Amino acid sequence: MHGLRSQLLFLFLAFGTCTISQATERVLRVAVLTNSPPMSYIGDVGQLVGFNVGLAQALCEEMEVRCALTVVPLEHVIDSVATGKFDFSAVSLLDTPERRAKVLLSKPYYRSTSIWFAKPGIEPGTSSVRVAMVAGSAQFRYAQARSWKITTVQHHSELPALLVDGKVEAVLIPMTTSLTLRKDQSIQSLGLVTTVMSQAELSGDVCYAIDPKNPELRDSINKAFDKIKQDGRFDRLNSKYLPFRLQ
Partner 1 sequence: MIMPDQSILERLNRLGWPTGKAFALLCGVFVSIFLALVLWLAVDQRLVLEGAERLQDKTVPSTLEHFRLARNIEQLRLEGERVLSGRSPVERQQAMFIVSLIASHPAMLADARASALAREVESFLTRSAREGLSEKNNSEWVTLTNRLSLLADDLSIEGVNLETEDLRHMTTTMLQSHIKLAVVLALVAVFVGSFLFLIHRHLIRPLQMMSQTLSELRFGQPPSPVEASAMLEIREVEAAIGQLQKVMLENEQARQRLEFLATTDSLTSMFNRRHFMTLAEEEIKRAHRYARPICVGMADLDFFKRINDSYGHAVGDVVLQSMTALFAKALRHSDWVCRYGGEEFAFVFPETTPIEAQHLAERLRHFAAENRIELSDGICLRITLSVGLADASAGSLDEALKRADEALYEAKSRGRNRVVMAAASDIGERIDEIQVPANERSLH
The residue ranges that bind partner 1 (CB under 8 A) are 111-113, 115, 175, 178-179, 182-183, 188, 194, 196, 198, 203-204, 226, 229-230, 235, 243-247
Q: What is the C-alpha separation between 214 and 216, in angstroms, rounded?
A: 5
Signed CA dihedral, 146, 152, 155, 156: sign only:
negative
In single-letter form, the type of residue at position 2 comes to H
Please name the helix (run of DSSP H) or strand (run of DSSP E) that holds residue 112, with its range, or none. Answer: strand 110-112
- CB nearer to partner 1: give 34 or 112: 112
Cβ atoms of 210 and 103 within 8 Å: the answer is yes
- CB nearer to partner 1: give 25 or 244: 244
- CB nearer to partner 1: give 115 or 134: 115
- CB nearer to partner 1: give 141 or 223: 223
- CB nearer to partner 1: give 122 or 135: 122
- CB nearer to partner 1: give 29 or 111: 111
The CB-of-244 to partner 1 minimum distance in angstroms stands at 5
Q: What is the C-alpha separation between 223 and 229, in angstroms, rounded?
A: 10
Q: How far is CA 154 from CA 71, 82, 92, 132, 227, in A?
A: 12, 20, 15, 11, 33
Burial string for 53-81 (b: 16+ CB within 10 Å, else e) reads bbbbbbbbebbebebebeebbbebbbebb
The CB-of-4 to partner 1 minimum distance in angstroms stands at 49
The CB-of-221 to partner 1 minimum distance in angstroms stands at 16
The CB-of-138 to partner 1 minimum distance in angstroms stands at 14
- CB nearer to partner 1: give 3 or 191: 191
The CB-of-239 to partner 1 minimum distance in angstroms stands at 9
The CB-of-182 to partner 1 minimum distance in angstroms stands at 5
Q: Is 168 helix (H, G, I), strand (E, B) or coil?
A: coil
Q: Is 171 helix (H, G, I), strand (E, B) or coil?
A: strand
The CB-of-204 to partner 1 minimum distance in angstroms stands at 7
Q: Which of 120, 109, 101, 81 is nearest to 205 (CA)?
A: 109
Q: Which of 204, 242, 210 is nearest to 224 (CA)?
A: 210
